[in-house]
Amino acid sequence: MATATTVRPGVAGAGTQRTTGVLLAGGIAAGTVFAVSVTAQVLTRDGFDLSRQPLSLLALGEHGWIQIATFVVSGLLALAGAVGIRRVLRGQPAGTWGPGLVAAFGVGLVIGGVLVADPSMGWPAGAPEGPAETASWHAVGHGVGAMLAFWSLTAACLVFARRYARRGQRGAAVLSLVCAIVVVVVMAWPDQDSLSVRMAVGCGVLFAWLAAVSARLLAVRSH
């Protein structure tokens, strides 16, 4: 005769808590993986000049697979973070739009990795010294992924700023609002000569914000 398997609620709950913690850790790690990889590449790939060549162009050339993997892995970690955020905030303010926008950020990064930009700005060797004259379909897709990533997480900053303000957490609210403003300013600044550096700064701000939010929720979940 078959016997029913009994699952102790405490054990099941502990397993869920651990899984949520691992997912949130993904949100924390996404920026670290991206920052370490691109920094190493900028410093070691001969001829690459961040002052005029966007980080996206690292996906081209002999070792381009490293940046492609960086985009994809960082995006998947961000998606994991989004699931963790959803688990913690389900039914609370920002519990729907917040993780949804973080997930869109992750999707944008994956798209930006799978669909590479066109050679331009002198990278890789032999590429046009300026912007590509015409855009390939994958370059257009890369641009869509990049904009999805940038603006989704910027919007998430505003969603969480509202959540923190409603909860009386003024410091976190101000920080989230400032992050959104900084990204908008650096991306909208009209000087095209500094675009590659400004995009790198925007990436850094957004990844740092995601890590801070994920770490904050991880700390709250642990208590």
CA pair distance 68, 71, nearest whole angstrom:
5
- The residues pairing with 170 across neighbouring beta strands, listed in sequence order, are none
Helices then strands, counting H and E runs in the chain, come out as 6, 0
pLDDT digits (tens, 9 = 90+) for 154-187: 999 999 999 999 999 999 999 999 999 999 999 8
Residue 192, pLDDT score: 81
In whole numbers, what is the pLDDT of the chain averaged over residues? Answer: 91
- Say if residue 219's pLDDT is above 50: yes
Q: How confident is the model at residue 3 (pLDDT cuts 50, 70, 90)?
A: very low
- Which residues, 6 or more positions from 127, have their beta carbon under 8 angstroms from its beta carbon? 60, 119, 120, 121
Single pTM value for the model: 0.90
CA pair distance 206, 158, nearest whole angstrom:
12
Of 135, 2, 149, 179, whose CA–CA distance to 79 is shortest? Answer: 149
- Say if residue 47's pLDDT is above 70: yes
- Say if residue 193's pLDDT is above 90: no
* Proportion of the chain above pLDDT 70, given as a percent: 92
Tokens of 97: 């739009």
- Say if residue 1's pLDDT is above 50: no
Identity of the amino acid at 156: A
CA pair distance 63, 204, nearest whole angstrom:
23
Residue 4, pLDDT score: 39
